[in-house]
Amino acid sequence: MKLQFSLILCLLFSVAFGQKKEVLNAKDQHASEHFKREYKKKSYKRFDGKITVRDNQVLFDDKAILFDKSDQLTVSILKQGLIYPQLLTDYQMEKFLDETTDKTQKRFLKLQKDPKASFDVNNITVKISEMPFLNLNDKVKRFRLITKNRNLPNSVVYFIELTNSKAAKNINLDEFLKDAKLTYIDQE
């Protein structure tokens, strides 16, 4: 009788305490911490120029972003003009101006004819992946944006957030993106 009782108790405890929460890997844990500490909602404009899709690249006027043809998420976001090279160029320049304390570098930048030229983002390869563990509700989706420039040895990783105030539960991605706005971008 004691043996049966202890087996039943063991079984109950294993069922009750055996269900674990999904454990995040190191990258996902870092992303979660980043949004907790660094998040500041802002609104960014969609690309208002000409968007042309060819083979494995999207042209934004005269700037290009390359992508993997099988990656429908990346293609959909790029086609909507939510992420584009000019946005990343502006972001990199603002980040430099905000974070650089060297006054000489700032003065030198202001003396250049085209200060954005040194931050120019063009012909980069992009991969966007959703981070569903960070989605707050049906109206907000958060993503990891990985960019690779042939001229640089390392990838640049951004966290982005898209918000669609009209989104409903179980809306498909294309419908979500039609009315979505970029509300957050930050470099990892």
Tens digits of residue pLDDT in 135-163: 878 899 999 999 998 877 889 999 999 99
Q: What is the pLDDT of residue 66?
A: 93
What's the number of CA atoms in the CB half-sphere (13 Å) around residue 159? 24
Q: Are strands 124-130 and 140-149 parallel, antiparallel or unpaired?
A: antiparallel
Q: Are strands 63-66 and 181-187 parallel, antiparallel or unpaired?
A: unpaired
The answer to whether 159 and 141 are in contact (CB under 8 A) is: no
Distance of CA 41 to the CA centre of its chain: 14
Residue type, 60: F
Sign of CA dihedral 156, 159, 120, 72: positive
Residue 50 CA to residue 24 CA, distance in Å, equals 39
How sure is the predictor about 128, in pLDDT bands with cuts at 50, 70 and 90?
A: very high
Q: What is the pLDDT of residue 20?
A: 47
The CA distances from residue 166 to 44, 65, 139, 179, 181, in Å, are: 18, 29, 7, 7, 11
Which residue's structure tokens are 């980069």? 124
Compute and round to an integer the Cα radius of gyration of the chain: 22
Residue 92 CA to residue 187 CA, distance in Å, equals 9
Sign of CA dihedral 99, 34, 124, 52: negative
Which pLDDT tens digit goes with each residue over 4-59? 656 565 555 555 555 445 577 888 888 888 888 888 999 999 999 999 998 899 99
The CA distances from residue 131 to 35, 136, 147, in Å, are: 12, 11, 16
Residue type, 48: D
